[in-house]
Amino acid sequence: MGYDFYLDRYADKFAILGGICVQSAIGILPRDELETEIRRVFKTLKGKRWICCTTHYVQGHCSIEDLKFAYDLIYKLARE
């Protein structure tokens, strides 16, 4: 389900757990694109019923450096 569909129909009924994809973003995208994706998700979901985390368990292609980069940015954005 896309975020817009969720926001239009279900945002008052349940929360999203996830948002930062390890199958298409962390460990896949170059850092600048990963930052753009994380910022896009935050712009869409911050302040809604949303628990920010990875959308799947962290897989082997995700380096600890990529995870640290992502979660440092997430930490920063959550406090802005």
pLDDT on residue 57: 82
pLDDT tens-digit profile of 41-57?
999 999 999 999 888 88
1, pLDDT greater than 70:
no
Helices 31-45 and 64-78, interaxial angle, to 10°? 30
d(C-alpha 51, C-alpha 40), whole Å:
15
**Domain of residue 60, residue span:** 3-78
pLDDT tens-digit profile of 21-78?
888 899 999 999 999 999 999 999 999 999 998 888 888 889 999 999 999 999 999 9
What is the number of other CB atoms lying within 10 angstroms of the CB of residue 53? 13
Total domain count for the chain?
1
